[in-house]
Amino acid sequence: MLAFGAHPDDIEFGCGGVIAKESRTGRTAHFVICSRGESSTHGTPAHRVIEANRSAALLGARLEFIELDGDAHLEVRTAHAIKLAGIIRRVRPGVVLAPSLVGNQHPDHAQLGQLVRDACRLARYGGIKELRRAPVHAIEQLFYYAVTPEAEPADLTPVLIDVSAPDVLKAWTSAMEAHVSQAATRNYVELQLTRARLRGLRAGVGHAIALFPNDPLVLDSLAQAGHAARRF
pLDDT tens digits, residue range 186-218?
899 999 999 999 999 999 999 999 999 999 999
Cα(29)–Cα(13) distance, integer angstroms: 16
Averaged pLDDT for residues 125-144:
96
Give backbone dihedrals phi and psi of 122, rounded to 5 degrees, phi first: -65, -30
Taking the domains of the chain in order of start, what are their residue ranges? 2-217
Sequence-ordered alpha helix ranges (H) in the chain: 10-23, 45-59, 78-91, 107-122, 166-177, 180-183, 188-203
User: Mean pLDDT over residues 100-110, rounded?
Assistant: 96
In this predicted model, what pLDDT tens digit does every residue of 155-195 receive, in sequence order?
Answer: 999 999 999 999 999 999 999 999 999 988 889 999 999 99
Over 90: is that where the pLDDT of 231 sits?
no
Contact 11, 3 (CB under 8 A): yes
Close Cβ partners of 164 (under 8 Å, ≥ 6 residues apart): 200, 205, 206, 207, 208
* CATH number of the 2-217 domain: 3.40.50.10320
Per-residue pLDDT tens for 73-84? 999 999 999 999
Backbone angles phi, psi at 188, to 5 degrees: -65, -40
Across all residues in the chain, what is the average pLDDT?
Answer: 96
